[in-house]
Copies of this chain bind each other. A is one copy, B any other.
């Protein structure tokens, strides 16, 4: 397929939507980005990649980091992981705290905040005070790129305004589903959410999930084929909070969004994709980013369905 032309068409169709939606403003550090940026990157197995827009623009990966921490946790814990976290859609955004209470502190899945906080706690059991170092090293490894850093201002802002996350971790500690000190857990969690990457880097980082857990370029095997499929299935059912069904419906690919405006998506056995645009729709997912992926799968027929 002529991906270069397709990207151009997508870009041209998505332009009218670039001023739709609102940049995340729950923390000041995120609200200051240029709201009209857009970029999209495709990473193929043969090493070819296609890019359009502001592809050097780094952004806060936010919840996309949950894919990395879940991958590491599944690698370290295997099936034992599901004692601490479920793998069902949460149904509704408001359920996060409600369900935590009903379900005795076991989060619905690793892609809601509570679940990702549990993943961080589990990594801390093994990696101790090297936890964040191990997480960022893992991202460098899957990205085949040593220049991945995090934004200290975003971490600071998260700490100042992160009362909802403090409520979540306290609640789970109360139910004994958090083992480590809650403030250290949050510190690591906020750090990995604050990692900055551009669409080039993120699409490259996700390639192993398009190829059954093995990076086709570096030939490193990060997880088993079965684990890789499960991560993809979870991205499909739970990757966009209470708009997961809608994303599956319209885009038809496993994906994970972040409030920083990024979305990654996987075309199994074909490619990995990343799109960025910081204005969010009402459900907290990139407005133009979602549209771009929808146009892309419509044009290419690359839905998994």
Q: Please measure, in the bound complex, the distance between the C-alpha atom of A228 and the C-alpha atom of B305, giving whole angstroms.
A: 8
Nearest CB on B from A85, distance (A): 11
Question: Could you tell me if B164 and A174 are in contact, using CB atoms closer than 8 angstroms?
Answer: yes
Question: Could you tell me if A174 and B170 are in contact, using CB atoms closer than 8 angstroms?
Answer: no
Nearest CB on B from A101, distance (A): 5
Q: How many copies does the complex hold?
A: 4
Q: Interface residue tally of chain A, by bracket? A: 35 or more
Q: Please measure, in the bound complex, the distance between the C-alpha atom of A237 and the C-alpha atom of B254, giving whole angstroms.
A: 11
Task: Tell me if A184 counts as interface (CB < 8 A to partner B).
Answer: no
Question: Could you tell me if A88 and B242 are in contact, using CB atoms closer than 8 angstroms?
Answer: yes
Residues on the B chain within 8 Å of A230, using CB: 249, 305
Q: Please measure, in the bound complex, the distance between the C-alpha atom of A95 and the C-alpha atom of B92, giving whole angstroms.
A: 10
Interface of chain A, main secondary structure? helix
Determine which of B90, B92, B234, B304 lies in contact with A249 in the assembled complex, contact meaning CB atoms within 8 Å: B234
Q: Please measure, in the bound complex, the distance between the C-alpha atom of A98 and the C-alpha atom of B100, giving whole angstroms.
A: 10
Question: Could you tell me if A254 and B305 are in contact, using CB atoms closer than 8 angstroms?
Answer: yes
Give 1 or 0 for each of A149-164: 1 = CB within 8 Å of chain B CB.
0000000000000011
Task: Tell me if A55 counts as interface (CB < 8 A to partner B).
Answer: no
Q: Please measure, in the bound complex, the distance between the C-alpha atom of A245 and the C-alpha atom of B238, giving whole angstroms.
A: 8
Question: Could you tell me if A89 and B244 are in contact, using CB atoms closer than 8 angstroms?
Answer: yes
Question: Could you tell me if B95 and A91 are in contact, using CB atoms closer than 8 angstroms?
Answer: yes
Nearest CB on B from A235, distance (A): 9
Determine which of B86, B90, B98, B249 lies in contact with A98 in the assembled complex, contact meaning CB atoms within 8 Å: B98
Q: Please measure, in the bound complex, the distance between the C-alpha atom of A211 and the C-alpha atom of B204, giving whole angstroms.
A: 32
Residues on the B chain within 8 Å of A254, using CB: 305
Interface residues in A190-238 by Cβ distance below 8 A to B read 226, 228-230, 232-234, 236-238
Q: Please measure, in the bound complex, the distance between the C-alpha atom of A170 and the C-alpha atom of B182, giving whole angstroms.
A: 13
Interface residues in A78-104 by Cβ distance below 8 A to B read 86-92, 94-95, 97-99, 101-102
Query: A236-B236, A268-B304 are known contacts; what are 7 more A-B pairs with Cβ within 8 Å?
Result: A89-B244, A163-B170, A164-B171, A166-B167, A167-B171, A237-B244, A238-B245
* Interface residues, chain A, with chain B CB atoms under 8 Å away: 86-92, 94-95, 97-99, 101-102, 108-109, 163-164, 166-168, 170-171, 173-174, 182, 226, 228-230, 232-234, 236-238, 242-246, 248-249, 252, 254, 268, 298, 303-305
Give 12 CB contacts A-B under 8 Å.
A87-B245, A88-B243, A90-B91, A91-B91, A97-B97, A163-B171, A163-B182, A167-B167, A229-B303, A230-B305, A237-B244, A237-B245
